Structure 1
Amino acid sequence: MASSTPSLLFTTTTTLLLVLLLRAPCLSQALTLTLVNNCPFTVWPAIQPNAGHPVLERGGFPLPTLTHRSFPAPDALWSGRVWARTHCSHAHGGRFSCATGDCGGRLECGGLGGAAPATLAQFTIHHGHADFSSYGVSLVDGFNVPMTVTPHEGKGMCPVVGCRADLLATCPPQLQMRSPPGHGPVVACKSGCEAFRTDELCCRNHYNSKETCRASSYSEFFKRACPATFTFAHDSPSLMHECSSPRELKVIFCH
């Protein structure tokens, strides 16, 4: 019996080590969010959590051209949106403001939403037992910069989605947003809702259902250029994807 004890200890120890090694990737894997600025100008990314979720990176920061910023996603569950603010500056008196995507004149949005029009990335990120992430890019609130979401090392439905086209050059005159207003360059392309404020185009009141909220000629402009995006309030939910265990979700501004 004495001679078999070392063998038994070795077997037990080896089994425990194997269990720990097999479990280590699951325990150590943390999802990283990375924001990449490929635009030829500085953008000011903004991050707004959905209700009940924490604010990440204080909600906003400057991101110079050809740089990136990475940070860990919260444990368990997080959902929210990311967008780029553009043409930002400190006006006389020190007040910070952006021509597009502005969040109340704050550099760090702190959970505030942004002004339309702006291209939005939307996320629901799970960790733990239900370890998957869903994501999409929305032009429902209009467009200000090209944007894609790229997952890395995920399993299942993990496509690259978004809008690579620069729609500022082709934006219909009635949707154009200029800065300064009226005579400046086109800095964003409004949605039909933002431009005309009608219930039908905004899918509200009587039009707030899948049966009555329909695509318009304005949403079709966005859909033709960027089919892998949401373009009106009740657009196809199939554009949201469930990607199991991605190591990184990368939001890329411009290409």
Structure 2
Amino acid sequence: MASSRLLTLFSTFLFSLILVQHSLGYAPMTLTIVNNCPFTVCPGIQPNSGHEVLEHGGFCLPTLHHRSFPAPTDHWSGRVWARTGCTHDGTRISCLTGDCNGQLHCSGHGGAVPATLAQLSIHHGGHLDLTSYGVSLVDGFNVGMTITPHEGQGRCPVVGCRADLLPTCPAPLQTRSPVTAGGHVIGCKSGCLAFNTDELCCRNMYNSPRTCRASSYSEFFKHACPDTFTYAHDSPNLTHECSAPGELKIIFCH
């Protein structure tokens, strides 16, 4: 009798566990990266620690092309950026902005700054299956970028920076291509990257929401692109709880 009761309790437990797992199952999602820039862009993809590398960490997209691929089926977080001014020598690729060790496939490595970053956290929030996303200029700017969710429920705004900040980038923040490549402005540094001070980098005594403040340099980015993160403890009005979008589009030069 006791063994029969234990078997019944164990079966009930397994059934309940299966129901819980089923209720937490995540809907399929597609990630799409679109290049609307008038030049080739080589997207880089870097996962946060403990997450898988997607699409080998990078590829190239000619102008007006896109690439779609399935998102992970469990929680994933990481960043996407554009590499620009890329040239190939047969075995290696070298990019003027966003370069990742001279490789086409970044394979988990980050990109050189300055670079506009898409920051993603998908399939979190348990049974709510939330996707969070934002565009960061904390590491500077190289191309305009927006993130657009499709078919999600709840608050699912389009966010990002549509402006081209290169023509108006303040002189102290400018990154230029080599003279042999024209000497053009190809990136706009953050104040932290340009001057490397504790105050601008929100380090040491400035590393808290109370002491880390906007600067004239971060305000340049904020004025042009108010819905982006522009310094370490920035809190733009990006409140959203986008549940189970069918697709998340990252669009360069949107």
TM range (shorter): 0.7 to 0.9
SS at match of 2:149: strand
Moved over 6 A (4+): none
Q: Distance in 1 between matches of 2:50 and 2:92?
A: 29
Q: Distance in 2 between matches of 1:240 and 1:83?
A: 22
* 1:240 Cα deviation after fit: 5.4
Q: Does 1:105 align with 2:107?
A: no
SS at match of 1:100: coil
Amino acid at match of 1:195: A
Q: Distance in 2 between matches of 1:250 and 1:167?
A: 22
SS at match of 1:129: helix
Q: Distance in 2 between matches of 1:75 and 1:189?
A: 36
**Residue in 2 aligned with 1:86?**
84
**Residue in 1 aligned with 2:53?**
55
Q: Does 1:35 align with 2:33?
A: yes
Contact 2:114 2:189 in 1 (8 A): yes
Contact 1:136 1:240 in 2 (8 A): no
Amino acid at match of 2:200: L
Contact 1:82 1:121 in 2 (8 A): yes
**Residue in 2 aligned with 1:173?**
171
Contact 2:48 2:77 in 1 (8 A): yes
What are the residue-to-residue correspondences of 1:151-190 with 2, within 5 Å? 151-180=149-178, 184-190=183-189
* 1:179-228 residue CA offsets vs partner (Å, 9 max, x unmatched): 01696000010000110111110111111111111000000000000001
Q: What TM-score results when the alignment is normalised by the length of structure 2?
A: 0.86
* 1:242 Cα deviation after fit: 1.9
For structure 2, the residue ranges without an aligned partner over 5 or more in a row are 1-23
Contact 2:26 2:74 in 1 (8 A): no
SS at match of 2:39: coil
Q: Does 1:143 align with 2:138?
A: no
Q: Distance in 2 between matches of 1:157 and 1:213?
A: 29
What are the residue-to-residue correspondences of 1:172-211 with 2, within 5 Å? 172-180=170-178, 184-211=183-210
Residue correspondences, number: 230
For structure 1, the residue ranges without an aligned partner over 5 or more in a row are 1-25
Structure 1 residues 109 and 229, CA gap change in structure 2 (3 angstroms): same
Q: Distance in 1 between matches of 2:201 and 2:158?
A: 28
* 1:155 Cα deviation after fit: 1.1
Q: Distance in 2 between matches of 1:211 and 1:85?
A: 34
Q: Distance in 2 between matches of 1:174 and 1:87?
A: 21
Larger radius of gyration: 1
Amino acid at match of 1:90: H
SS at match of 1:174: helix
Amino acid at match of 2:116: T
Q: Distance in 1 between matches of 2:123 and 2:231?
A: 26
Q: Distance in 1 between matches of 2:187 and 2:146?
A: 17
